Amino acid sequence: MSIQTIMVIGAGQMGSGIAQVAASAGRRVLWHDLSMPLIDKGMLVISNQLDRNVAKGRLTEEAKVSILSRIQLTGAIEEAAQVDLVIEAISENMAWKTALFQKLDGICPSHVILATNTSSLPITEIAAATTRPSQVIGMHFMNPVPVMPLIEIIRGLETSQHVFDAIFQLSKELGKTPVEVQDFPGFVSNRILMPMINEAIFTVYEGVATVEAVDTVMKLGMNHPMGPLELADFIGLDTCLSIMEILHEGFKDSKYRPCPLLRKYVKSGRLGRKSGQGFYTYSS
């Protein structure tokens, strides 16, 4: 199956990165969000990103214009009826996602594949909200999407081989490296990454070292591009907490208990970069 037209739902950081990558790979993108101002802002982010690539000589002005022309903004979800694939990238809220997938199931012809960019919610449960669980799959992109080469491709319990193959192939055509993963809490990426971040927070909480010291150890000692606390701020502390809760709930194992300091920060509104304050302070 050849996937040429994609609807991306969600105008946040992930949706914006996915729309950019898909349009850069020659796909026609319908980009939908309930908030048109948010999606206009997202388009500006993509345009600025492409301008940087033009300035660095990696993209011609014509190529940039052509990429942007392939992205069409829409407030009408009904337009999902004309695409081959929908990639959902809305907030990590199961009730919102299942309601959206139910709606898409009613709009899209039966051959349309419905993918979710969830970072940790069960694909099988999202698929069960539709009448086409074999056509539902996880496509977990990493942030920042244009830079990070990985996509975790998560099979729900009922995902068909045909759908898996089509999404695996598409991911390669988007210039990414797909990795097959089964549907268990946190998949692979967050099952490994989040306990590391949580442990880094415990290290600060217990007074073993300062925030800067923990990050320096992991950057210089392990060659990580960002320290775990800087990365937590980048991902969003609310997202980190929510993923730890999903691991804790899903495995019922105390090793996944979220650090009280993480909870405290989230309760106080310190959410990392997006709120201007997390383990570090951000000026803009």
Instruction: Report the interface residues with ligand CAA, using CB under 6 A.
Output: 49, 52, 56, 119, 142-144, 146-148, 189-190, 193, 225-226, 231, 235, 239
Residue (of 146, 153, 139) closest to 175 by Cα position: 146
Active site residue 140: yes
List of residues 6+ apart from 255 with CB closer than 8 A: 195
Nearer to ligand CAA among residue 103 and residue 224 (C-beta): 224
Which CB, 1 or 192, lies closer to ligand CAA?
192
The answer to whether residue 119 is catalytic is yes
Tokens encoding 151: 């996509």
Catalytic-labelled residue, pool 16, 24, 152, 242: 152
Helix (H) and strand (E) counts for the chain?
Answer: 11, 8
Kindly state the smallest distance separating residue 5's Cβ from ligand CAA, in Å. Answer: 24
Least distance CB 92 / ligand CAA (angstroms): 9
With H, G, I as helix, E, B as strand and everything else as coil, classify residue 242.
helix
Q: C-beta of 34: minimal distance to ligand CAA in Å?
A: 23
Query: Measuring CA to CA, which residue among 233, 148, 222, 160 is closest to residue 189?
Result: 148
The single residue of 190, 198, 230, 242 carrying the catalytic annotation is 190
Residue for token pair 């694939």: 85
Q: Give backbone dihedrals phi and psi of 64, rounded to 5 degrees, phi first.
A: -65, -50
Q: Which of 140, 171, 198, 230 is catalytic?
A: 140
**Shortest distance (Å) from residue 212 CB to ligand CAA:** 16
Helix or strand run (H / E) with residue 180: strand 177-182
Residue closer to ligand CAA, measured from CB, 156 or 272: 272
Beta carbon of residue 118, minimum distance to ligand CAA (angstroms, whole number): 8
For ligand CAA, the closer CB: 84 or 233? 233
Residue pair 172/150 in contact (Cβ under 8 Å)? The answer is: no
212 is known as an active-site residue: no
Alpha-carbon torsion angle 18, 222, 181, 135, nearest 10: -10
* 60 within 8 A of 88, measured Cβ to Cβ: no
> Is residue 18 a contact partner of residue 8, using CB atoms and an 8 Å limit?
yes
Are 221 and 262 within 8 A, CB to CB? Answer: no
Q: Tokens representing 233?
A: 């701020």
Could you say which of 119, 120, 171, 198 is catalytic? Answer: 119
Q: Residue 221 or residue 225: which is nearer to ligand CAA going by CB?
A: 225
**CA within 13 Å, CB half, 242:** 14
Is residue 173 annotated as a catalytic residue, yes or no? Answer: no
For ligand CAA, which residue has the nearest CB? 119
**Measured from the CB atom, is 119 or 159 closer to ligand CAA?**
119
Q: In the complex, what is the shortest distance from the CB of residue 126 to ligand CAA, in angstroms, rounded to a whole number?
A: 15
Active centre residues (catalytic): 119, 140, 152, 190
